[in-house]
Amino acid sequence: MTLPSPLLPALLAGDRAPAPRTLVDIFTAVVAAHPDAPAVDSGQEMLTYSELAEAASALAEQLAELGIGPGDKVGVRIRSGSTDLYVAIIGIILAGAAYVPVDADDPDDERARVVFEESAAAAVVGNDLVISTTPVGQGRSSIEPSSPTTEDDVWVIFTSGSTGKPKGVAVTHRNAAAFVDAESQMFLVDDPIGPGDRVMAGLSVAFDASCEEMWLAWAYGACLVPAPRSLVRSGVDVGPWLVANEITIVSTVPTLVSLWPPSSLERVRLLIMGGEACPPELAARLQSPGREVWNTYGPTEATVVACGAMLDGTDPVRIGLPLAGWDLAVVDKEGHPVAEGESGELIIGGVGLARYLDPAKDAEKYAPMPTLGWERAYRSGDVVRNDPDGLVFAGRADDQIKLGGRRIELGEIDEQLLRVPGVVSAAAAVRSTQAGNKLLVGYLTTDERYDAAHARDLLRERMPAALVPRLAVVDELPTRTSGKVDRDALPWPLPTSTDTPAKGELGETAQWIAAIWAEIIGADVGDPSDDFFDLGGGSLTAAQVVSRLREKNPETTVGDLYAHPSLGDLAAWLDESSAASTMVRTNRKVRPIRTKTQVAQLVGMIPLRALAGMRWLAWLVLGATIAHPALPWLPTYPLWLVALLAVVFIAAPGRMALAALIARVLLRGVEPGSHPRGGKVHLRLWLAARTQDELAAAALSGAVWFRWYARLLGAKIGEGVDLHALPPVTGWLDVGPGAAIEPEVDLLGYWIDGDLVHVGPISIGAKARIGARSTLSPGAVVGRGAEVAPGSHVLGTVTAGGGLVRLARRAPGARPGPVVEPGGTRAASVARLHGGRRRARR
């Protein structure tokens, strides 16, 4: 990266561009080099590079049979995190076509329709890799599969448009491969990424930053590990997931990283941030020996990343110098380069320039820059300061902003606000709260037809959740001499409504919560009915609020805030739950386990240890049999005995079958209800749970045959269920078709409440989703299509279509939930019987 001429100090040229090639060239080379290395690990299914290539090639052949190949566009709308999503992307690329992704988790069907129509997609690949042709692709004859050229498009990403209509940006194989190869010259040069690395995939494939995640893995033979979207939305819960999944490479936005405890990043050796400004204090906090921390910058129009800077925690946070093959310039309003230390608009040139699908838009934004001698350049609209050590981002020159890594045209927000009945004029702006959070605010002048609740409902129907602003009614919008709205002069903090009660009328807890809300989302709260999400709160700010609420009740989760979004309701719930938690922890006296039960436990340990010993014996017998030809002095065993031991104690299905058989024998005749702690039922439950541990059944969670194991226990598991958690040892589990149970969920068949053990069934409706690390207690019912937020505790019923709740409709007169030991409630039940503590492994 050099300054090519002292006469033009603001021209920054990257090193020589990488040699032209395609993403197909990169992928096939990695498959050949690392065929058996993991390529994608969804938690439910793992594909090696050879398996990914085989599945993708099959999809490419199907597309060729439909006459789809180089030059075509193919839409992708598949549930996030599934291996099918990545098979589809690679398959489309191998077919020579360009993939056009739409976020399947976004319910906006109209946006998907516009994206596929604007891109002239010939087909759309959906869930289960089902291909649907569009009018553009119908009636074609089959073709022979052929590889793309460097000038063929590889992906089309749609960004926000100032008119409210998404803009399609097409990236060629030359652009994409150059980006992948250029980053290889930047990151971890001394210890390159390889098959031992695991790369987090936490971003929607509808964003171009997801391309960086995918190819940070697939260019080097590393493993791509999709993070559950519900977990990413919760923010703070991603930290434990990083540790559990041994993630070493992360590319994300600074806001999300700021929510993770430093301990969760211990394995991470490459951390890349982009999409928004990185606070200096965060850059300093992330420093660790052996870890590279990078700040990157790049619009979709210049292929993901145009420049980057490695952060050391001491220098100012820069966006750095250009990638190899990219050219940067800082110019004034006339297009002339500015002097060193001055600010101007950032212009991008070089090998990374993409193009708009709209020819008029393309000619406007990718115009020649005669003052620079460039035939084609992209005007970013971003203001930067020219610094020889790396550019420093200074803001936007127009009305486009980035929020949470998402690029947003304020004009698009304005247009949607003006469509709301009763809105006379509108302007959107981004404001910063005391906690440093960016908040999107819609300023309105209104007439008598305006209704705030109706306005919020309309905006939620018409716009993605990330674009819905907090609404503020003002007397007038300030304007400049040009007549345009002066967004910088819009009031902040927002004025307090004269109708808002005085804060003195609120209780102590409500006042404390109001102060937290004011700090984090900039809301001057005084009415008990004020709603956190109506005031501009989102998933990331919710996580920040919850971390503060835990000062009063350590068991508070994000789901609690969703269940109690109003100030008064949340304050009342927090007072009640805190008092209940204190009472349970300090006042309840629990009698010790009877001596007779402890003796029975010791006797029960004999067969349990025997089971563990049989596993070791099976391995020894198998090893001796295999090694006998080379070591004839080793003992020999009948082949039938070797086969029997291997099937029962080594093979996973055998261990599952044995564990299920023992559990069903032990628990035969046990009925739902409350039983004495330390009694016969509790002892039988403990023996069944320990049998699972000794046979390592829990370690097989998420395996392809895990649903089969649940059915062996007696559970009713519907078709298409994603089960990533150990089923209750009682077998009393009913899961409807298409439901999803994420990792580390406690499906409790029982829990301890003082001197009682409560045992009961669990029911999960069709297409319901249970978030990671949630707890479902005996008797829990989750209705059809309901969603339980990560970290929630369901004690009762979650109605069909409901969700994001923690304590759902507790039965009248029910006592507070149990005290949970480390490892969840199931671990508490086991730990309390034998008097120790242990962490449940799943």
- The per-residue pLDDT for 430 is 85
> H-helix or E-strand containing 461?
helix 452-462
- Report, as an integer, the average pLDDT of 194-214: 95
DSSP code of 223?
E
pLDDT of residue 214 exceeding 90: yes
The reply to whether 456 and 368 lie within a common domain is no
Range of the domain at 791: 651-798
Query: What's the pLDDT score for residue 562?
Result: 80
User: Which tops the pLDDT comparison, 666 or 160?
Assistant: 666
Contact 215, 93 (CB under 8 A): no
| Pair 459, 370 in one domain | no
Q: How many CB atoms lie within 10 A of CB 17?
A: 18
Write the pLDDT tens digit of every residue in 709-747. 888 888 898 888 888 888 888 888 999 988 888 877 888
- Quick one: 413 and 390 in the same domain? no
Structure tokens at 772: 């990671």
Residue whose token pair is 């999960």:
764
Q: Where are the alpha helices (DSSP H) in 345-397?
A: 359-365
In this predicted structure, the answer to whether residue 811 has a pLDDT above a threshold of 70 is no
In a domain, residue 308? The reply is: yes
Q: Same structural domain for residues 659 and 757?
A: yes
pLDDT of res. 839:
27
Give the torsion sign (CA, 700, 702, 704, 705). Answer: positive
One domain, residues 658 and 774:
yes
Reported as a pLDDT band with limits 50, 70 and 90, residue 753 is low
Average pLDDT over residues 491-519: 71
Q: Is the pLDDT of residue 701 over 60?
A: no
Give the number of other Cβ atoms within 10 Å of residue 491's Cβ: 14
pLDDT tens digits for range 132-146: 999 999 999 999 989
Residue in this structure with the two tokens 């003992």, named with its chain if needed: 635
Number of structural domains in the chain: 3
pLDDT of residue 133: 95
Return the top range by mean pLDDT from 24-33, 500-509, 813-822.
Answer: 24-33
Helix (H, G, I), strand (E, B) or coil at 541: helix
pTM for the full model?
Answer: 0.57
Q: 352 and 439, same structural domain?
A: no
Q: What is the model's pLDDT at position 45?
A: 93
Helix or strand (DSSP H, E) at 110: helix 109-118
Q: Which of 347-356, 399-408, 669-678, 757-766 has the highest mean pLDDT?
A: 347-356
674 shares its domain with 794: yes
For tokens 């310039």, name the residue: 329
Three-class SS of residue 540? helix
Report the pLDDT averaged over residues 96-111: 87
**Do β-strands 223-226 and 249-252 pair in parallel, antiparallel, or remain unpaired?**
unpaired
Provide φ and ψ at 283, rounded to 5°: -60, -40
Any bridge partners for residue 470, and if so which?
441
Buried b (16+ CB within 10 A) or exposed e, 665-699: ebbeebeeeebebbbebbbbbbbbbbbbbbbebbe
pLDDT at 495: 59
Q: Do residues 417 and 318 share a domain?
A: no
Strands (E), 14-108: 38-41, 46-48, 73-76, 98-101
Measure the N-to-C terminal CA separation of the chain; round to a whole number of Å.
48
Q: Is residue 135 part of a domain?
A: no
Residue 504, pLDDT > 60, answer no
Residue 4 has pLDDT above 50, yes or no: no
In a domain, 324, yes or no: yes
Q: Are residues 316 and 453 in the same domain?
A: no
- What gap in Å lies between CA 441 and CA 473, rounded to an integer? 10
Domain CATH code at residue 438? 3.30.300.30
Tell whether 511 is covered by a domain. no
Residue 776 in contact with residue 711, Cβ under 8 Å? Answer: no
Mean pLDDT of 438-465: 85
- Same domain, residue pair 242 and 299: yes
Same domain, 385 and 414: no
Q: Clarify whether residues 391 and 418 are in a common domain.
A: no
Residue 721: inside a domain: yes
Q: 50 phi and psi, to 5 degrees?
A: -70, -35
Q: What is the pLDDT of residue 141?
A: 94
DSSP state, 146?
Answer: -
For residues 596 and 348, which has the higher predicted lDDT (pLDDT)? 348
3-state secondary structure of 474: coil
What proportion of the chain, given as a percentage, has pLDDT over 70? 84
pLDDT at 584 over 70: no
164: tokens are 């409210």
Question: What is the per-residue pLDDT for 224?
Answer: 98
pLDDT (tens digit per residue) in 756-790: 778 889 999 888 888 877 888 888 888 888 878 77
Say yes or no to pLDDT of 571 above 60.
yes
Which amino acid, residue 437? N
Average pLDDT, the chain: 82
Q: Which of 760, 795, 788, 759 is nearest to 774 (CA)?
A: 788
- CATH number of the domain to which 364 belongs: 3.40.50.12780
Name the strand (E) or helix (H) holding 411: helix 410-418
Final residue before a domain boundary, out of 375, 398, 421: 398
Binning pLDDT at 50, 70 and 90, where does residue 585 land?
very low
- Lay out the sheet containing 123-125: strands in order across: 131-133, 123-125, 73-76, 98-101, 153-159, 167-172, 355-356
Q: What does the pLDDT look like over 376-413, one tens digit per residue?
A: 999 998 889 888 788 998 777 766 666 665 667 776 78
Which of 378, 398, 418 corresponds to the end of one domain?
398
Asked if the model's pLDDT at residue 44 lies above 60, the reply is: yes
* Residue 1 placed within a domain: yes
- How much is the pLDDT for 23? 98
**Predicted confidence band of residue 523 (pLDDT cuts 50, 70, 90):** confident
Instruction: Enumerate residues 6+ apart whose C-beta is below 8 A from 650.
Output: 615, 618, 619, 622
Q: Tell which wins on pLDDT, 679 or 37.
A: 37
Q: Are 462 and 468 in contact (CB under 8 A)?
A: no
Of residues 296 and 679, more confidently modeled: 296
